[in-house]
Structure formats: C-alpha cells, structure tokens
Structure 1
Amino acid sequence: MDVSQLGAQSSFLGQGQSAGSNKKLGQDQFLKLLVAQMKNQDPINPMDGKEFASQLAQFNSVEQLVGVNKGVSSLKQTQEMMRTEMTNSMAASLTGKSVRALSNKVNLDAGGSVDINFELNNTAEDVEIIVKDAAGSTVRTESLNGGSNGANTWTWDGRNNDGRTVAEGQYSIEVKATNGDKGVKARMFTEGTANRIRFSGDGVLISVDGVEVPIGNVETVGIQSSSS
C-alpha cells in the first residue's frame, strides 16, 4: 500500500473532521477512508482479505457499542426520572403521618421541654448527653446512670447548665456512651408528625415537628396522626 497517498487522503478527511468541532470518526468518514485505502493500495501487494474483513468487523463492533451506550444513557435518564417521581409521591404521602427518622437535631419551644431519643448498640454503664446551640456552643451536659441496649429517651427541660431557661429554637445533640473502657455506638433519631415537605436542591426534606430531615433518613412510618 502507498502510505504517502493514503496519508494525503487521511489529511483531507482530517480537515473535514476538524471542521466538525473535533468529533470522533463517524460511519461515513470511516467508509471514505476505507475506500481511499483500497484505491491507493499497492497492486503488487494488495490488502489481505482477512485484514479487510477484520477492519469491517471492528467497525461494526464499534457501531454496536455506540448504540448500546446510547441505550444505557437513555435508560439511566428514564430511571432517574422515575426515581424522582416516586420519591416525590412518597414524600407527599407522608404528610400527617407519624414517622421516625435519623437526626441529631431537636426543636425546643419557648419555655417547653423536648425528648432526646437515642439508640445504643449495646448496654452502656455511662451515658453523657451534650446539647449545643446553633453556634456550636455547649449549653447543657447531662450524665445518665447507664443506658440500655436499643432505644433510650431523656427529656431535656430546656435549661442550661446554670439552670436558666434557654431560648427557643433548634439544638444539636451528641451522645457519648461507654461500657468500662470501651465505647458504645449511639445514634440519635427524632419521632413525631411529618407536617411539611420541602423540595430543595439537596433533595426532598421532611419536617418532623420542626426538624427537617432528608427523606432517606426516615426509618419507620406510623398510622395517620389523630390531630391531622
């Protein structure tokens, strides 16, 4: 094959290709290049039939893969749309229901108290509950005489370490549990009525008695609230 002549043909095709915003070699371009290759082959040493068949087979495989990739991309988009629609529908159905969701936040009403719910993966001899305000400052530290494996509840009376009533608002909770010199894992959760749904850039948020939680953090859903 005359490589120099083929190179000239390839250069011509390359110019046309660059005009198309540097796109990948398409079907028409491939066929033109293949015809140019056949026209400019060395008559004394023509292209081997097996090599020609191999090139066609490779091109066919690439075309099939391109089709598969497009199909997968379209399927993925469809699944994303379906998942979004299902999530939105499920979120709307939670309004007015009693739910339990993972969260380390509590909402304190003015002059009121609030239950702090937490779950231990083992029995703990010592449990320390730390309440922090929105600025991250500790307002209350309470030491409990142990905690049981599973769900536990401590009611915060809304007072700080000096015994003064703190302002209403949202507070974050930290639970430190130990059994001797070993730590015990703890996680916080909130229980209440889902009274509002908000669609944000971060996903669907459920308001549970004033505390917003991602819908993915909802663990259980109870019966319809009697107050709704």
Structure 2
Amino acid sequence: MTVSNATATNNVTDNLSITKKQETKKNTNELGQAAFLELMITQMNNQNPLSPQDNSEFVAQLAQFSSVEGLERLNTSFNSFMSNNALQASSLVGRSVTVESDTSTLVKGGIVAGSVDLTYPTKDMKVSIYDSTGSLVQAIPVGDVPAGEAVFRWDGQNLEVNGELLDWEADEDSVAAAGKYRFEITATQNGKSEALNTSLSANVNSVTIGENGALILNLAGIGAVDAKDVKQFN
C-alpha cells in the first residue's frame, strides 16, 4: 500500500494535536472559575424542584474564586506599577533636581542653582556661602529683590539672581573648589531681618524604590529625598 506525503504529514499533525490535548488535560488539574460556574448551573438545572439542594457551599466557593481573582488582578497591577516606577527611576539617575535644602555640591565646571521665596520685597538680600568646614567662602550683597520667587545660580565665583549677573567685588583669581557648600540667605521681611528657606539643585546619584513603590532619590551633597518632595526636575 502506498502512502502519500500529504497523508503522512496529516497523520503526524493529528498525532501531535492529540498528544498536545492529552498533555493539556494532564496538566490542567485545577477547576477554573468558568468550569465551576458551569457545574453550579448544571446542578441547579437538574435538581429536584420538590427537594432543592442547598447551594450555600457553592456560593461560598464562588466567593473564594472572586477573592482569589481580585487578588491576582491586584498583584498584576502592583507589579506593573513597580515596573513603571523602576523605569522612571532609571531615567532620573544623572539628572539634576531642586529640593528644599541649604546644602549642595558644586562640581568642577558646574553650577549650583537655587531659589528662595520672598513674601515682601526687600532692599538688602544677602547670600552667604560656607564650605564643608564651616568657613565663609563668599558673602554676596544682592540688594533690591521684588516679592515672589528669587532664582539664583552660583558657579563658585559669580552669582546670578533672577537672570542678572551681580556686579560685586569678586576675586577674579579665586574660584571655589568642587565640594559641598551651605547657603545662608537673609533678607528684611516685614521690617525685620530673617533667614529664608532655601531650595537648591543637586545631582541624582542613584534611585531606590521604597515601601509602597515610593521613589527615593539619593542626591549628591544632600542624601535621601522622597521624589514627591522634589520642587523641580531640571
């Protein structure tokens, strides 16, 4: 008897299909929710109307199915959320952010940017900058500044406030070395001199994911800061 190639191929395909179905049946030992509902409906349709069965156990098991399914969906959503946070975290490393702080790190050839909020206009704002040993590096008189946010940039030598480079007697040959610095900014507000809350820029060295998926930024010269406390991504 002659067997064609097509017939042989069909036989092999059929055998593989049967084998696959058998393996699927062997590996599927658990009762799914759909099959459970079908079984429950079949039982209800075929019960004795004069002596109905107690379906409380079915309902209880159905509630368990729903709870498990809900937990699985929640777990899937949480894993997706964590993955998205991890992706966002990786994109922040190496970037500069602005947070509330009075210390930051000046890198070689870089700048430290920052801001303060003035409730009232002032005529005597002053920026004092100290190094890591606490020694005063520069004390820069700013002068008149309007109410609102005052933005400044410092490159280790010159200070720019609200986009305007200050004309003061800076030592042209002296540039602050790279390192950690503390900024103290004072101004007269409502008739008395007071220290202003300062926000400074810092580079993101690394990011960790804390409890409940919170992003914790590890900032150069500042330390660990929750991402929700970032005022600006530079």
Taking structure 1 as the reference length, the TM-score comes to: 0.44
Taking structure 2 as the reference length, the TM-score comes to: 0.44
